[in-house]
Structure 1
Amino acid sequence: MEQILRPIYQERASHPDTLGIILINRKEDALNLTNAFDSVLLIIVKDQECSIFTKHYMYGDKKMVMHILTEKRLKKWLFVGSHKRLVDWLFFGKIIFDRNEFLYKLRSELQEFPFFGRKIKTGIQFSKLIRRYLEGKEFFESGNYLDSYSHVVESLHHLGRLSIIDNGLYPEVTVWSQVKKIEPAIYKLYEELVMSDESLEKRLELLFLAIEFLINSRTQDAAQHILEIMLTQSSWTIQQLHEQEELSLYSTELEVFVEYLVEKEYILVEPTLAKSESVFHRNYVVDQQFVESKYNLGKI
């Protein structure tokens, strides 16, 4: 397959913006590794007009896909965890072009520093958990138990991913097999939800109590990333938070997370007068002493 794709990747390798190229071939014992294709050609570039560009090829009965993505998109996927196969591709794919050892250094960083990006990954997963939990509880309270059930499953999934990240590992596609070994208590909750003989209403009621406890116990750790960023200036509008490079990765969960942290008094609201005397802008601040004492930080 490499010979068939060589003209394609050689042409891409000649571009000065190309940082690295990885080839991933389908394996009989891991057919989903390549998302139903026989081969995946992953090309990382410094920059391009669109952050990801995809092409499909065929050769006889073989199917190939080429993904060209920017370095920024690559890092986003690593932090957010939205592309479940990416880490496998980076670890197990064959490097066929590597400008200035970009891919070699990235692999080494991922292997030697398993907590790379841990704070931001924890914050993002936790923000997703908060949204799912709150929406699921709202469905539950209105009697929409099936909708609530799907949100509880997602909540447990995010809790599972958090436990994996906490242990310096990378969430795999088969998250629950990892969680069973690492955090059996969360796995047990999942079993109780899907296998219990209790009524759905009763199962959900018990799960919400358990998830709420787990959320409260993880809040301080999950808030560290956003709080440390907020220390870099005295006051923030919600738009400024959205535009901050790392916080933008929280996407639609950012505002839900901010409101949750306001409720828990990790973030403070600072009203400032708007054009109308009766309306105020809602700005957000953090107490430096509070944050430094919570996380044992030095003088920032």
Structure 2
Amino acid sequence: MYPYMDWCVGVFRTSSGIETVIVNSEGSGYIPTGVFVPRSARMLFADGGLPQEFRARWFSWANPAETMLAYAELAADHREDIDLWALAVSADDGGSSMPARSVIQHFEDCSRSLSPIAEHTPVSQLDDTHAHRLETMDRALYSRLTGFGDGPLPDRSEAWRTTAAAAQLALARAGAIPDLAVPPTIREVLDLLSQGQPVPSGRWQDLEAAHIAVVTTGAGLRPGRMGVDTAVRAHVLAYHDLARLIELLLLWRRESIAYPEIAYLAGQIHLTPRAAGA
């Protein structure tokens, strides 16, 4: 139910059994907080073998069904034993199974308004059958940050270094675009945190409002929405990074440090492909 995002699930038949792959229309398959992926599935962009051209071409694509079809074609070029058998896609913010209907026999459009899942149904929990979003991207890092893996335990200084590095990258990308105005509250909160100063409640509220504006604007610019654009634009990349940066800064409002969440959001910023010529 995360706004401005459609999801697609592809079911692949392989010689070793069924594989389930998930992708959405936000960035490189960004997973919102509180969403836990079943361990029986995997995120499409977590495939380490994806070429950079694919990552850039399908970043934040409006219809995730098209991203899934492109992935199926790419996989078939490298494996003879894989076949996209079924596909389901939510159809509220640009998603549609239409491109798949001439390719596969089993497809489904899923509208929120027709969902069989009631509003009061308990949400999925992080348990043995579900993975934390950082784990889908970097299992070793998630294990270390939660105290179960090798390496040093995280501390506040590491979390801040991770935050500051991601902020520098996101703000540099946005600052390179002449007609993109970065909400000033981002730098204001960042400066206060870097100085160890408390952030007034009004600043946090301004940051929340900026997040809504950034996410909404970025969603409206997604490639593939009009059916003519073939690659992400610099604005889409920048708005994605600013949205993740705001979420990252908002985590510092908590009394305890959310190490895995900070690492995931920073990782999403670092995974954003570079715009052509950047």
TM tier, shorter chain?
under 0.3
Q: Which has the higher helix share?
A: 1
Larger Rg: 1
Which gives a bigger RCO, structure 1 or 2 (Cα 8 Å, sep 6+)? 2
